[in-house]
Each structure stands twice: as C-alpha cells, then as structure tokens.
Structure 1
C-alpha cells in the first residue's frame, strides 16, 4: 500500500478556531503531480453508550447549529489537550447526562469524516450507572432521554437517527446485546 502514499512538500495552518484547525498541505501524489489538500485537525472525542439497569440507553437531544436541527445522539464530547479518552468519556457522561458509570468497556475507534478531517472518536460501553448531577458546559443545552435499544434501531432504519457516530454506536450496541461481540 506504500505506493498510494502522498509526500508532503509543504504545510501551513490556514485557520485556527477554539478547537478546530484547518491545515493546507501541498503534496506530491503517486502520479508525480502536485496537489493541494485541505483538512481539519480535531483533538479527538469519546462517545458513551450508557446502559441502564432497565436495559434502556441514555441518550441526548441536542441542537446542532451546522445543520440547524435537533439530533438524537449518544452522549459524546471532545478531548481536552493531553486527556486520556476514558477520562473524556467519564467527564462527558457526567456533564451531559448526570450519570457516572462503574463499569467501562472500550469498544472501538472510529474516524467519522476521513475525507476532510483527522477526527477520531473512541466508543465506550458504560454500565452500572448512578445518577449524580448534570453539569452542562456554559452554552450547552441538552435534553436527556431513555431509549429502548430496539426503538433506537428502528429510528436508525427509518432515517430518524442520522448522526454517524450514533448510528455506528447503535450497531455496536445491537451486536453486543445479541451476544455477537464481546
């Protein structure tokens, strides 16, 4: 596969926001030609699939400005600089839902938008939940809800859950609950 790699000739940052950066690289492709590649640098994130003792999962409704609509999602959040993803998962679960978990299982890492970002999201299963206190970040507005996993899969099938990280997590959850994946 090495023959598919591109050689970076130059690189520069063309935008720096609060936590996203846009980079622009000039590359030499396998055909010998020079091309410009732009991509978003992202600090990474963690997503939690919190399972309640009643078998339902804890999810959130959240407004997403880029698409100007409210989405049903699993709780998730970006990593702080130098932070381990499990620390992110624990923090975000408590902040967004008001739950803490005693039992954590790492499931996988996903790269949701490989065409234009280096973002990666670590997916975790969170069990043995205790409700504590929700501590939303300033400017963060969420509605916490409990969803039956079968209902979640129906919503995915109907196109009512279109957030890719939540869809992928829903499929992992389904496989886990069926005993198909440990």
Structure 2
C-alpha cells in the first residue's frame, strides 16, 4: 500500500458496550508521526424487507447522537464473531416481526472510515412471513410500510437521510 501508516504505539482509552476507542501513534509515509483516534465497532447488518415486489418495510426511531428521528432499514449490531446472515434474520424478526424465506446480500459499507472500523452488511429479505416482534427493552420504533418508489422519493427530498438505508434502497433498485 502506497500510503500505509504503521502503528508504533496503541492505547485503549475507552471500552464500552457498543464501541471501544483507542489512540494510535502512527508513522506516516513522509517519516513524521501523527495520532489517530479509532473507534472499534463489531459491525452490523441492515435489512431491506420486501413484503411484495414493490412494498417494503422501514422503521422510524429516535437517534440520540443527532437528537432526531430517522427513517431507516431495520438494522442491528453483530455480536462477537456472529454470522451476518444469522444476525440479519434475527434483527428482522426482532424489529418488525417477520421471518425471511429468502435473504440475499446487497452490499457492505464502511460507515465512517476516517475514524471508525464499523462495517454494515446490507441484505434484501423476501418471502416474508409474520411472526412476533421481540425488541430489546430499550428499542422503540414505528414500522412503516411503503411503496419502494415512495421510499426513493423520500431519499431525493431529504426525508430519508440515513446512509445505510439510502445505499440499501438505491442498490436494490439499480440491480
């Protein structure tokens, strides 16, 4: 790699429930050193649930870091070394109360590679059958059933601004 930064010292400065943060001293390609604050996250999944060929489910939930509600794909974090497909199937059932007869990977994206290693694996789920919602006790959200064309319109007019949701919907319709 032409611009590789060699880590010469690393210090864990925070260990939390969802993220860990470390401070790395790195050697740059020009021989100078710099510091990098790095957020480690186990990664996650997002699921585009297709009720029919044109109908999808999204969720609306409050997101504390931005002090606002977002309209998003159902999503969740990977547990340690969890298989992304298994996580996607679990999250789909937990958040919107559906099982998928078919699940297919659309993409994987890094959310903010300038400071975090979080990767989100995006899936499309189809052949859905109703089960029971089983959310975590700290999860509160509305389930929205939308025409996929309306969701695309919501992306273009700024009602959907969540990156994983935009990537998931636009990747799906461009296939």
TM-score (structure 2 length as normaliser) = 0.97
For these two proteins, the number of residue pairs brought into alignment is: 175
Gap runs ≥5 in structure 2: none
Q: Distance in 1 between the 2:53 and 2:173 partners?
A: 16
Q: Distance in 2 between the 1:169 and 1:154 partners?
A: 14
SS of corresponding position for 2:172: helix
SS of corresponding position for 2:66: coil
Aligned to 1:178: none
Query: For residues 27-58 of structure 1, what are the alpha-carbon distances to aligned partners after superposition, in whole Å with 9 as ceiling and x for unaligned?
Result: 00011000000010000101111101262101
TM-score (structure 1 length as normaliser) = 0.94
Aligned to 1:8: 7
Query: For residues 121-148 of structure 1, what are the alpha-carbon distances to aligned partners after superposition, in whole Å with 9 as ceiling and x for unaligned?
Result: 0111100000100001011101111111
Aligned to 1:154: 153
SS of corresponding position for 2:95: helix
After superposition, where does 1:1-182 map in structure 2 within 5 Å? 2-53=1-52, 55-175=54-174, 181=175
Q: 4+ residue runs of structure 1 moved beyond 4 angstroms?
A: none
RMSD across aligned positions (CA): 0.9
Q: Distance in 2 between the 1:4 and 1:96 partners?
A: 41
CA contact (8 A) 2:106 2:168 kept: no
Q: CA deviation at 1:174?
A: 1.5
